[in-house]
Structure 1
Amino acid sequence: MTFASTPHAPTADRPARTSTAAAAGTRDIRLDFFRGIAMFIILIAHIPFNRLSNYIPARYGWSDAAEIFVFCSGMASALAFGKIFVTRGWGMGLARVAHRIWQVYWAHIGLFMTVAATKVAIDLSGIWQTYGGFEKNFVGSMGITRFFTDTQEALVGLLTLTYVPNYFDILPMYLVILAMIPLVMGLARVHPALAMGTCVAIWATAQTGALDLPAEPWGDRPWFFNPFGWQLIFFTGFAFMRGWLPKPPVTTWLIAVAVVFLVVSVPFGRWQIWTQVPWIEAWRDANTVLFGKTEEGILRYLHFLALAYLAWAAAGEGGSRLMTDGQSLAARIWNTARKLILKVGQQSLAVFIFSMWFAQMLGFVLDFTPSRGWLPTLAVNFVGMATIIGVAYLAAWFKSSPWRAPR
């Protein structure tokens, strides 16, 4: 969640200008740190009926962890793919993006099948009646019943991304945005302003609903995350990391503006407030296009930028304030926590895939606790966070190819 821009960043991406690749090739600690934070928030948000989710940042404003994830993914993509377009040419950049799309596509298919199979197994086991003393349809609670009643249509739809259940909509959105990278990089060869202007134009068109994508073969429900709206968040992060956009100055008045905007947004985002204030509720009903999540409404975009600016200012140049050399107990605890968060941020795709499945299992455990009290809720969330940290370290270990090292 950073407005990181490299020193002496160029104004355009052209193959001859290798300084761009050098400038944009250094990984920023703030990128991994805030993406790691987003992974923890996403886990908490996806545990069904999780009392702790009432206190995540999304409950106090317009934007949420999805913006952090997409924005940081844009920054990471600028490092992973943008450099290749500049140093190896457009064709090789296209091949690199296609390879990533292939990976994410099968991650999406695997995630859906794993979650669906797990829910079927739980329903078939009859564990609800045996141990819970109540009836519940786990498949139905996910809204994927039609996959089993209309399997032929749903299976073709799943593989062609025309069947996108709401819980499984982030990765398809990410796939379409990834596919836009070659276009944006091609436009940036003319001028970065043309690339960013095109992104803004696509976002503005998406606000009208004209670019909605079908989410099911048997109805007119659109994708919950419209990639043509959300690409603006992605390419904003992409542009900052490529140096197309200058990093904003850290000034008192900008900080004040960001803080005021965030504070004013609280009554409009906190449901315990706006449901009790008739004029706020009426305003929300009349202006949903301004903060709609599907098309990434303008208020969500601005709310996230305000949060990102404050986080970037607080982190310091190069994330210097995130690091400490102190030997006090507090410093040691912070250093340990920072390392864990960074590891999760570095392995965000693996962590995200696992957490989307594991969150459902944690919700399943909570179903058997008395009234989902605070003690079991905190325990389940702690187990979830500890587990995704373990997954991050395991994914990093596999990526290191330890079998290639000499004994």
Structure 2
Amino acid sequence: MNSRANMSPEPAQRVSLPKPVSQRDTRLDVLRALALIMIFINHVPGQIFEDLTSKNFGFSDGAEAFVLISGISVGLAYGTKFLPGNRLKMAWKAVRRAFTLYTAHMITTFVTLVLFISGAWIFHQKGLLCEVNILALLMDPARGIPALLTLGHQIGYNNILPMYGALFLMLPLIMLLEARNPLLLLAISIGVWLVSGIYYIAPHTTLLDGFWFLNPLSWQLLFVIGFVASMHVKRGGQIPAHPVLIALAFAYVLLSFIWVTDKLWILGDYLATLGLPTVVTGFDKTFLSLPRLLHVLALAYLIVSIPSISALLRRSASHPLTILGRHSLNIFVAGTILAMAGQVLLYITNKSPVVGAIYVVVGIAAQFLYAYHLEHKRLELAGQRVAKAPAARIAMPAHFGKRH
């Protein structure tokens, strides 16, 4: 407080607050929005728009993009604040976020169960109970319910959030290692990814024999790469846009495009004869095989290195894609629920191409409307905080409250 404020406070309406300088990179929001849209489309299989998503034109898909973008965003939101004196607070914040993701996963899981079981009952379509790993749960609910709650059983298409939550549980250690030595963190991360892929180390499912569909011990590498890159840039570093690296990245993306569109998977069998681990030569999603990892990294490098692409993705804060990506968790939950409802609808209509196409369009539009609703609430709350802040900043007279 200054002496002027103590002597003669100005009226609240005349007190102005400094405008915060926004450092949010809208490219991340736009890319996250595009990844969310592709994930939604891919989670309603059997309709025409599925053929237009990125998985049909390269080794990676929306899931890899989402995790890499998340690593970058977490570096900006958590890593830059992981400073001496604030580290325990940020570590606890990461753990709390993991439990938020667990709650979101439980919501999508049980809503999915309700949708499929209700669909089977209302429309007399018992086959719905054999979809998305539901039957094993219904056959043995005494083991199935605890397995769901402990993530030992995951419903199909509801398996991204468990992996993402596990990454947030790892985040305190990731931030600590990065603060000590980023190269050491990368070396350890690569080692964990490689060992997990070679020896098939992953969280096991308990109701059915197998692994989590997305192994966090493998996917942490992509998350860490994004995290380290964002911290490097925030400390004043740069991602070098070297012509040779750009050419190599473009060549790999082109090779991936030709490989997938021409269905040259037989070449994968040749790579297997080299005797290298499948995590290096295969295309497995659970253990994030190297070709998938390199593909999403090559795409990311081209985006940040080619100015025209980067500028195309830099939209205003009020752009629909920016708003959709800003509310990613809520939109992901809504999109998952809509996708599960869409799967039920397509099942009972025998995968009608017309119904599927219309539903996807309506579902995407619904997510944009929901995002605008969330943005309106966010701006409203921000306005309320600003309105209350000046009154709180008015100092009381120096003698107020003193005994005479």
Quick check: TM above 0.5? yes
Q: What stretches of structure 1 of length at least 5 have no aligned partner?
A: 1-24, 130-134, 325-334
AA in 1 matched with 2:367 = I
CA contact (8 A) 1:315 1:322 kept: no
**Equivalence for 2:399:** none
Residues of 1 paired with 2:121 and 2:177: CA distance? Answer: 53
**Structure 2 residue 365 is the aligned partner of structure 1 residue 386:** yes
**Equivalence for 1:255:** 246
Q: What stretches of structure 2 of length at least 5 have no aligned partner?
A: 1-21, 389-404
**Equivalence for 2:12:** none
**Map 1:364-383 → 2, pairs under 5 A:** 364-367=344-347, 372-373=352-353, 375-383=354-362
Residues of 2 paired with 1:378 and 1:366: CA distance? Answer: 10
**Equivalence for 1:222:** 211
Q: Return the match for 1:293 from 271, 285, 290.
A: 285
**Map 1:309-320 → 2, pairs under 5 A:** 309-314=301-306, 319-320=310-311
Q: Return the match for 2:160 from 167, 170, 195.
A: 170
Give the number of aligned pairs.
Answer: 358
CA contact (8 A) 2:29 2:322 kept: yes
CA contact (8 A) 2:59 2:292 kept: yes
RMSD, matched Cα: 2.8
**Map 1:199-238 → 2, pairs under 5 A:** 199-215=189-205, 217-238=206-227
* SS of equivalent residue, structure 1 residue 36: helix
Cα shift readout 1:347-370 (whole Å, capped 9, x = no counterpart): 111111111110122233344658
Cα shift readout 1:118-177 (whole Å, capped 9, x = no counterpart): 11111111x2x5xxxxx4522321221122221121211122222223422111111111
Cα shift readout 1:180-211 (whole Å, capped 9, x = no counterpart): 11111212232121122111111111112342
**Structure 2 residue 331 is the aligned partner of structure 1 residue 339:** no
Residues of 1 paired with 2:312 and 2:346: CA distance? Answer: 37
AA in 2 matched with 1:209 = Y
Q: Percent identity?
A: 26
CA contact (8 A) 1:203 1:228 kept: yes
Choose 60-69 or 244-253, whichever is displaced more. 244-253
Residues 202 and 40 from structure 1, CA distance in 2 versus in 1: closer, same or farther, beyond 3 angstroms? same
Choose 179-188 or 223-232, whichever is displaced more. 179-188
CA contact (8 A) 1:84 1:92 kept: no
**Equivalence for 1:19:** none
CA contact (8 A) 2:91 2:172 kept: yes
* SS of equivalent residue, structure 1 residue 239: helix
AA in 1 matched with 2:241 = V
Residues of 2 paired with 1:144 and 1:227: CA distance? Answer: 23
Q: TM-score, normalised by structure 1?
A: 0.80
AA in 2 matched with 1:393 = Y
Cα shift readout 1:265-295 (whole Å, capped 9, x = no counterpart): 234334x6236xxx43633776753321111
**Equivalence for 1:303:** 295
Residues of 1 paired with 2:180 and 2:382: CA distance? Answer: 45
CA contact (8 A) 2:338 2:363 kept: yes
Residues 248 and 395 from structure 1, CA distance in 2 versus in 1: closer, same or farther, beyond 3 angstroms? same
Residues 315 and 40 from structure 1, CA distance in 2 versus in 1: closer, same or farther, beyond 3 angstroms? farther
Residues of 1 paired with 2:172 and 2:268: CA distance? Answer: 42
Instruction: Work out which of the two has the higher radius of gyration on C-alpha atoms and give 1 or 2.
Output: 2
Q: Return the match for 1:65 from 40, 43, 62.
A: 62
Residues of 1 paired with 2:155 and 2:383: CA distance? Answer: 40
Residues of 2 paired with 1:402 and 1:190: CA distance? Answer: 38
**Structure 2 residue 80 is the aligned partner of structure 1 residue 83:** yes
1:45 to partner: Cα distance: 0.5
* SS of equivalent residue, structure 1 residue 110: helix
AA in 1 matched with 2:42 = A
Choose 167-176 or 285-294, whichever is displaced more. 285-294
**Equivalence for 2:137:** 147
1:402 to partner: Cα distance: 4.2
**Structure 2 residue 39 is the aligned partner of structure 1 residue 42:** yes
Cα shift readout 1:348-398 (whole Å, capped 9, x = no counterpart): 11111111110122233344658633x444322211211111121223334
Cα shift readout 1:324-364 (whole Å, capped 9, x = no counterpart): 8xxxxxxxxxx79x811111111111111111110122233
CA contact (8 A) 1:119 1:139 kept: yes
Q: Return the match for 2:26 from 25, 29, 52.
A: 29
1:103 to partner: Cα distance: 0.8
Q: Return the match for 1:121 from 118, 122, 134.
A: 118
Residues of 1 paired with 2:278 and 2:258: CA distance? Answer: 15
* SS of equivalent residue, structure 2 residue 254: helix
Residues of 1 paired with 2:312 and 2:341: CA distance? Answer: 36
